Amino acid sequence: MNADRLPPVAPEVTATLVEGLSPRLRKRLDAAVTKLAARPVHRDGDTTTIEVDDETELRLRAPGGVVAKAEDITCGCLLAPACVHRAAAACAAPTADLAPEPAEQPTPQASGPASATVPASATHPTPVADPASASATHQASGTDSAPGPGPAPGLTPEPTPAPDAAPPETATPDQRAAADALGAAGAAVLEAGVDGAGAVAQSALLRAAHTARLRHLPRAAGAALSVVTLLRAARAGDPSYRTAELVTALAELLGTARRVATASGAELAAVRGRVRRPYSPDGSLRLYGLFTEPVVTDSGHGGVRTWVAGADGRLFTVGDVAPGGVGRALGVADRAVRLGDSALTHRELGRAGLAVSGATVSPDGRLGAGKSVKAVTARGAAWTEPPLAALWETPPAEQAARALRSTSRYADPDGTGSDLLFLDVELLGAVREPGGTCLLALGEGGVPVRLTAAADDPALAHRDNLALLAAAPGTRLRIIGRLIPAAHPRLTLLACSHPTGEGTIDLGLDRLRRADLPDPAAPAHFAPPQPAGPGAQSPLYLLERRVEQTVPAGRAALGMLGDVTAETRRIRRGGLPTAAALLTALCASAAQRDRDHFGRLLPADTDGFTTYWLAAARYSAAVSESLCAAAWNPTGEDWGVSAAAPRPTI
C-alpha cells in the first residue's frame, strides 16, 4: 500500500484514535501500521477501502478530501470500533494540512514577558556559555568567541517604555501551555530518536499540534506536522528522506515552542505565524518575464512557477501546482496563465510581459488571481535590456547575502526577498564530486561557482542540459540560479541565455542540442581542481555530525561516545571555541544520569539535553550560513553578511 493512495487524515483524528487504544494495543500499533501497508487499497469517490484480510475491510471516508472525524474511519472486524486497525490506518495515511484558525482571537495579556527557564548544568564537567546567548556573528576568518556580559555584538538593549505606554502584547496562558506541550512532545522525539518515535510518539505530537492551532500558534503547529511527516518517511525507508531536514524541522519546533513564553509585540506575531498566505492590493504593475521552472514535490504534486520582474526590480511569481507529478509539470507549462484575461502560456510569459491592474500580492511575491485582477499581454524585455539588466548589476556577494537572509533555516519568516542569484559566468567544464558531477563556472571577480541540476528526473531537461553545457568550456552565459548554502559558491541552475546569444533557455523545460553549442563536436570537458573556499576546511562538521547523530538513534547515541577531547581540541584549533564548548556540554548532558540514595537511576534531564542540542543545531546553522556568505565575498567587503547569520535564539 502506498501512503499517497490514502486520503489525508486530520491530526486530531489520528491523535484521538491512538489515545483511545488500550496500553496493550498501543504496543502493537507500529506492527499494525507496517502490516496494513502491505494490504491492497481501493478508492471509489470519497471512500477508500483497505482489505485487512479476506473477510475484513477498513473504510476511510473523506467527503471534503480530508478525513475530518474519527467516525469517518470504520472497520468491520469484531473488535471495532476499539480495534487497532482504525488507528493504524490513520497513522499510515498522510497528515492533513492545518485548517484555518478559528475566528475568535486570543485576549492579549497585560503582563510582561515571562522569563525563560534554563536547567542547571552544574554537573557538567566543562563549563559552557549560556546556549541561548551563543553568538552567531562571525568574521570571515572563521573565529568566534563566547559572549561576555551585556548585549550581544550588533544588538542594542530594548528601550524602556514610557510610564504611560501600553505594555507589549504577550502570549496568553493557554498559548504558553500549548507551547509547553509541543516542546515536551518534541523533546520526547529527540530523546527516543527516529527508531523509538513510533506511532504513539507521533500521535502525541499531532495532539499537541492540534491544540496549538486552536490556540493560534500555527507556526509551531506546522513545524510539528513537518516533524511527523519526516519521522514517517524515515521509518518507512523513503529514499527522499534526509536526516538534515528532520534536524531543521525538530530544531524549528523546539525553538519556536520555547520562544512563545518570552516573545512580545512584533516578535510574538512572528513566533505565532499564520495559516493562510495574505494577499494585499498592489495597484497596477508592469511585469517582464524572466523564466519558467517545473515544480515536482515528494508528495506527488507537479506544476510550474513562472518568475517575472516589475519595473522597479521586484520579483513576482505566477504558479500552477496540483497533484499530478512530473507529467503534470510538463503539461501545465503550455497552459494559459491563470491571471486576468491573459492568453499567455507559462512558457510564453517567461519571455513576454504583462500589464496588470488591481494586482494582489502575497508577502513572498505570489500574484493573486482574484476576479478583480485584470491582465493583458504586453511587450517583454531581454535580459540585457532595462529593467531586467539591473538584476545582473548587483554584486554577487550582495545577492548571496540577500538570498541567505531569505532562506535562513531558523530566521523569522517575513516572506520578503528571494533565493535567486543573477550572474554573468564563463563555463570551465564539469567537476567530479562524491555525489555526482556538477558544472564549474567562473563568476565575477574570479569566484568559481558550482552549478548543479535542479532535478534528476530524466523527464525533465535539467541533467541533459547541464551535461551539454559541460562540453562548451569558455562559453560566456548570463544565468539565473538558486542559492545552495555551502562552504563554497554553489547554485542550482534554472535558466541561462542561449549559447548562441539569441534568447533564453528554461533549463528544466527546454532542451539544448549539440548544434546549439559553439563547438558541437567537443566532448565533455573536466575542469582542473579549484582551491577550497574559506569554509571548506572548517571543523564545524564535527559538531554538525553529532547533532545529526542524535536524531536517528536518540540521546543514547551521544551518551555512549565517551571522551570527545580530540574532537573539541580540533575544533578549537579551527577557531571555534564556542562550538567546542557546545560539543562538550552536549555529550556530557547526554551521558549524565544521576542516582538516588539507593543507587537507582533517576529520570534523565530531558530538558537540559534538549537545550544543548537545540543550541548546537542553531549555532551550527548560523556559522554555516556565515561561511557561505564569506565564500561569495572573497574581497572582504561588507554586504550585510552578518545579517545572514541570525543570532540563534532558543
pLDDT single digits (tens) 249-264? 999 999 999 999 999 9
Distance CA 555, CA 635 (A): 42
User: Smallest Cα–Cα separation from 175: which of 218, 222, 221, 212?
Assistant: 212
> What CA–CA distance (Å, rounded) separates 637 from 326?
42
What is the C-alpha separation between 201 and 222, in angstroms, rounded? 17
Which has the minimum average pLDDT: 101-105, 265-269, 578-582? 101-105
The pLDDT, as a whole number, for residue 282 is 85
Q: What is the model's pLDDT at position 495?
A: 97
Phi, psi of 210 (to 5 degrees): -65, -45
What pLDDT, on the 0 to 100 scale, is given for residue 476? 93
Average pLDDT over residues 58-83: 91
Least confident range of 211-220, 389-398, 435-444, 463-472: 435-444
SS3 607: helix
Cβ proximity of 387 and 309 under 8 Å: yes
Res 64: pLDDT: 83
Q: State the average pLDDT over residues 436-461.
A: 90
Task: Give the pLDDT confidence score for residue 158 in this predicted structure.
Answer: 47
Least confident of 585-589, 628-632, 640-644: 640-644
Please report the pLDDT score of residue 259 as a whole number: 94
**What rounded mean pLDDT belongs to the chain?**
83
Q: Which residues lie below 8 Å from residue 648, measured CB to CB, with a gap of 6+?
A: 132, 134, 136, 255, 410, 615, 618, 619, 621, 622
Interval 196-246: pLDDT, tens: 999 999 999 999 999 999 999 999 999 999 999 999 999 988 888 889 999
Higher pLDDT, 400 or 409: 400
Q: What is the DSSP letter of 46?
A: T
Q: What percent of the chain has pLDDT over 90?
A: 54
Q: Quick one: pLDDT at residue 362?
A: 87
DSSP state of 515: G
Mean pLDDT, residues 379-387 taken together: 94
pLDDT at residue 297, rounded to an integer: 81
548 and 595 in contact (C-beta within 8 Å)?
no
Flag whether pLDDT at 101 surpasses 50.
no
Q: How far apart are CA 202 and CA 211, in angstroms?
A: 14
Query: For residues 321 and 535, which has the higher predicted lDDT (pLDDT)?
Result: 321
Phi–psi pair at 483, nearest 5 degrees: -60, 135
How confident is the model over 326-332, as a mean pLDDT?
91
**Edge-to-edge strands of the sheet including 315-323?**
315-323, 301-310, 280-296, 353-361, 374-378
Inter-residue contact 40 to 51 (CB < 8 Å): yes
Q: What is the reported pLDDT for 184?
A: 95
**Where does residue 640 fall: left (phi above 0), alpha (psi -120 to 50 degrees), or beta otherwise?**
left
**Residue 534: per-residue pLDDT:** 55
According to DSSP, the residues that pair with 319 across neighbouring strands are 305
Dig out the grid coordinates for 531 from the structure. Answer: 582551491
Identify any residues that bridge with 202 across adjacent strands, giving them in sequence order.
none
Relative orientation angle of helices 606-631 and 173-196, to the nearest 10 degrees: 80
pLDDT higher at 512 or 115: 512
Q: How far is CA 155 from the centre of its chain?
A: 27
State yes or no: pLDDT of 530 exceeds 80. no
Please tell me which residue, 224 or 435, carries the higher pLDDT value: 224
Which is more confident, 402 or 136?
402
What pairs with residue 50 in β-bridges?
A: 41, 58
C-alpha distance across the termini of the chain, in Å: 40
> If 0-12 CB within 10 Å is exposed, 13-18 middle and 19+ buried, where does residue 639 land?
buried
Q: What is the pLDDT of residue 38?
A: 86
Q: What is the pLDDT of residue 456?
A: 87
Q: Which of 69-83, 520-534, 535-549 has the highest mean pLDDT?
A: 69-83
Averaged pLDDT for residues 152-179: 68
Global confidence as pTM: 0.80
Whether 100 has a pLDDT exceeding 80, the answer reads no
**What is the share, in percent, of the chain residues with pLDDT greater than 70?**
82
Give me the pLDDT at residue 54, please.
Answer: 83
